[in-house]
Amino acid sequence: MNLIVSGTGALGLETCRLLAARGDPIRALVRATSNPDKTVELKGLGAELATGDLKDPASLMAACKGVGTVISTATSVHSHETGDSIDTVDRQGQLALVEAAEAAGVKHFVLISFPPVDIEFPLQSAKRAVEDRLRRSRMSYTILQPTCFMEVWLSPALGFDPANGKATIYGPGINKTSWISYRDVARCAVAALNNPRAVNATIELGGPDALSPLEVVRAAEEAMGKPVVVQHVPEEVLRSQHAAATDLLQKSFAGLMLYYAAGDVIDMTEARRALSVERLTSVREYLQGSVAAATP
């Protein structure tokens, strides 16, 4: 049995779809307040639903019972649930999940994290604490560290809106990043299961091409067939926000934006060797899909 934590999130739900396509047994950890359309889809995939919460250790023990593998895609970053925070979910909740999985005799734990960043912020501290605890557990583990999700960073939610002719760029926009699709991260998580090359491995993940934000804007202009007005958020502004923030989430967002500004080119040699993942979604393919979705 495979337990997918945060089964109704975009990454968790995609992971469940891939497992279902393979015919693998699925148990999805969902909340009582989870989106009903997504829980219906999970049931349609044949998933067993376990109602619980990372803030409720007893529910985690019940969810882990009889499970061989855990894939945790959970984070509080996009959550609007009362009581969710980087401390309660990304740190304490994930640590409680590792404890519960270990106590239940889970054999393999796959954690979705992100690559090390050269500036400290609460989300990174939480991720590293969970990674360290997982490495000290009795379970085998795979830690996947994908770079920036294109569906998040190259979306209107964060100011990238070429359909409306505008794009916000954090920092100078000249440093390249290996943007990755969350769908490819899900493929990598599934590829890690029952895979001896992924055992006790920490694997950085990136997409097939490294582009600077300004290069992405140019690609978006080509895809849209119209110009895009760029607005920069200077790096010194981001550093000031990071230094001044007292809220854990605000400080973490500033830290992640500085990570975006610095860029991160991922060498996928190890990932391809370990996970046998070949074709990955390019930024241009993502942009073409976004154009199609935005066209009436």
- Report the pLDDT value the prediction gives residue 79, as an integer from 0 to 100: 76
Q: Which residues pair with 198 in a beta bridge?
A: none
Of 22, 29, 127, which Cα lies nearest the Cα of 71?
29
The order of strands in the sheet holding 2-5 is 48-51, 26-30, 2-5, 69-72, 108-112, 140-146, 201-205
- Report the pLDDT value the prediction gives residue 292, as an integer from 0 to 100: 64
pLDDT in tens, 226-260: 999 999 999 999 999 999 999 999 999 999 999 99
Q: Which residues pair with 108 in a beta bridge?
A: 69, 140
Cα dihedral 61, 65, 70, 71, rounded to 10, equals: -70
pLDDT truncated to tens, each residue of the chain (296 aa)?
999 999 999 999 999 999 999 999 999 999 998 999 999 999 999 999 999 999 999 999 999 999 999 999 999 988 777 788 999 999 999 999 999 999 999 999 999 999 999 999 999 999 999 999 999 999 999 999 999 999 999 999 999 999 999 999 999 999 999 999 999 999 999 999 999 999 999 999 999 989 999 999 999 999 989 999 999 999 999 999 999 999 999 999 999 999 999 999 999 998 998 999 888 999 999 998 876 676 55
Return the structure tokens found at 139.
Answer: 């379970």
- Report the pLDDT value the prediction gives residue 289, as an integer from 0 to 100: 84
The Cα 192–Cα 198 span in angstroms is: 5
pTM of the complete model beyond 0.85: yes
Angle between helices 10-22 and 182-191 (to 10 degrees): 50
Instruction: Count the neighbouring beta carbons within 10 Å of the beta carbon of residue 276.
Output: 12
Of 184, 41, 212, 91, which Cα lies nearest the Cα of 7?
41
